[in-house]
């Protein structure tokens, strides 16, 4: 996502560049070692002798003679499975930053223990992929056509011949739905859902959802804007298609919404504003894209940004437009927003 440029802004390209959930730079899109264990061998071993099947969100049922051992996944999916004790062998998608550190989308996964077959949008090393002898490829889907996220269109047929795939939809639904799907997928792969860490994380998520609902109800006048910064454009995300924003809105959060005309121009995802017009939508809290492709708040040097009431009040928080689909990683997202609403001053 951060650096590659698309030859033309296709719908798929806009999602990648503008952010899978409607944010980022429209023409600046995104785009290499192996793993064996994650401390969860016992849960993996519990089911490895029997057949395995899983029906994904395309309605496709993948059937194998045994539980997949060689799993290759989109980075965020690998990070989610890691939280459930399932270690993937290879990943594709934003995994390491330019400095070699783990990308935010890698979560707690040890990136030195996975083979990276593509770190940017459009990158997918088929030779490396084949060399892993994959049992299954798992990724998300950001449209209703079943397009596998971060699998290049030009390579899709070759990739499909090497292993079956599982797609988890994160398109036009609330966060709790794909969370439940990843939870079920992890269990099928041998995760122990009764493990203390997993049980506590799920309970924490449920408590965080209740807290956010309470905060939103107590402060209905607090307006929240979801934004993403690029050198020339500030993107304001709509809530209609983004799993996190749809869920937060269902809990009562009062979001700034882009104009219908602006959303239509981006396929329904976002509105792009010049930095001169960044004050178009009054907001009390601004949630900013935390991915590597976006300019982070501390690095924004635009005078108009610094003059925004929410910025001057210090009411800017991080947002994960591509949340890692584990309860462990999603609970803090709700808690942080709830805290921001509970403590926000009305400045819009």
Instruction: Provide the angle, in degrees to the nearest 10, between the axes of the packed helices 196-218 and 176-188.
Output: 180
> What pLDDT is attached to residue 99?
84
Neighbours of 44 (CB within 10 A): 20
DSSP letter at 74 equals E
3-state secondary structure 211-229: HHHHHHHHCCCCEEEEEEE
What average pLDDT does the segment 107-111 reach? 97
Residue 21 pLDDT greater than 70, yes or no: no
What pLDDT, in 10s, does the model give residues 30-82? 333 333 333 333 334 344 557 999 999 999 999 999 999 999 999 999 999 99
DSSP letter at 183 equals H
Residue 5 pLDDT greater than 90, yes or no: no
Q: How far apart are alpha carbons 291 and 212 in whole angstroms?
A: 23
The more confident residue out of 330 and 15 is 330
- Contact call for residues 124 and 150 (beta carbons, < 8 A): yes
Task: Give the residue among 272, 277, 312, 317 at the shortest CA–CA distance from 297.
Answer: 317
Tokens of 340: 């921001």
Neighbours of 34 (CB within 10 A): 14
- Contact call for residues 31 and 1 (beta carbons, < 8 A): yes
| Prediction pTM value | 0.87
Q: How far apart are alpha carbons 21 and 322 in whole angstroms?
A: 7
> What pLDDT is attached to residue 96?
96
- Contact call for residues 331 and 201 (beta carbons, < 8 A): yes
> What pLDDT is attached to residue 27?
27
> What pLDDT is attached to residue 277?
96
Residue 85 pLDDT greater than 90, yes or no: yes
> What pLDDT is attached to residue 49?
59
- Contact call for residues 28 and 17 (beta carbons, < 8 A): yes
Q: What are the two backbone dihedrals, phi and then psi, of residue 64, each rounded to the nearest 5 degrees?
A: -130, 160
> What pLDDT is attached to residue 165?
98
Q: Which of 25-29, 133-137, 221-225, 326-330 has the lowest mean pLDDT?
A: 25-29
Tokens of 309: 């009431």
With cut-offs at 50, 70 and 90, classify the pLDDT of residue 221.
very high
What pLDDT, in 10s, does the model give residues 148-183? 999 999 999 999 999 999 999 999 999 999 999 999
Task: Give the residue among 95, 97, 151 at the shortest CA–CA distance from 126.
Answer: 151
> What pLDDT is attached to residue 147?
96
């Amino acid at each position: 996502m951060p650096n590659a440029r698309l030859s033309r802004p296709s719908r798929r390209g806009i999602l990648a560049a503008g952010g899978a959930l409607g944010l980022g730079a429209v023409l600046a899109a995104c785009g290499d070692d192996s793993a064996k264990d994650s401390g969860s061998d016992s849960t993996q071993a519990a089911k490895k002798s029997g057949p395995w099947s899983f029906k994904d969100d395309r309605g496709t049922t993948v059937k194998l003679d045994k539980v997949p051992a060689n799993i290759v996944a989109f980075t965020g999916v690998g990070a989610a499975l890691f939280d459930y004790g399932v270690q993937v062998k290879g990943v594709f998608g934003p995994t390491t930053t330019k400095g070699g550190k783990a990308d935010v989308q890698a979560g707690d996964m040890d990136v030195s223990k996975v083979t990276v077959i593509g770190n940017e949008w459009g990158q997918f090393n088929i030779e490396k992929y084949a060399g892993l002898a994959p049992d299954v490829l798992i990724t998300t889907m950001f449209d209703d056509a079943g397009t596998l996220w971060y699998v290049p269109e030009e390579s899709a047929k070759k990739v499909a011949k090497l292993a079956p795939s599982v797609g988890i939809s994160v398109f036009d639904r609330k966060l709790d739905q794909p969370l439940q799907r990843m939870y079920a997928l992890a269990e099928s792969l041998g995760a122990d859902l009764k493990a203390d860490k997993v049980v506590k994380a799920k309970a924490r998520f449920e408590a965080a959802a209740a807290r956010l609902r309470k905060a939103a109800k107590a402060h209905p006048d607090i307006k929240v804007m979801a934004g993403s910064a690029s050198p020339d454009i500030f993107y304001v995300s709509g809530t209609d298609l983004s799993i996190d924003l749809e869920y937060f809105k269902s809990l009562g959060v009062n979001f700034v919404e882009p104009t219908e005309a602006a959303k239509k121009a981006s396929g329904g995802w976002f509105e792009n504003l010049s930095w001169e017009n960044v004050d178009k939508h009054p907001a009390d809290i601004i949630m900013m894209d935390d991915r590597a492709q976006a300019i982070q708040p501390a690095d924004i040097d635009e005078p108009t940004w610094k003059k925004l009431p929410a910025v001057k009040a210090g009411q800017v928080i991080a947002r994960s437009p591509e949340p890692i689909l584990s309860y462990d990683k999603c609970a803090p997202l709700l808690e942080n927003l709830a805290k921001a609403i509970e403590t926000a001053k009305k400045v819009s």
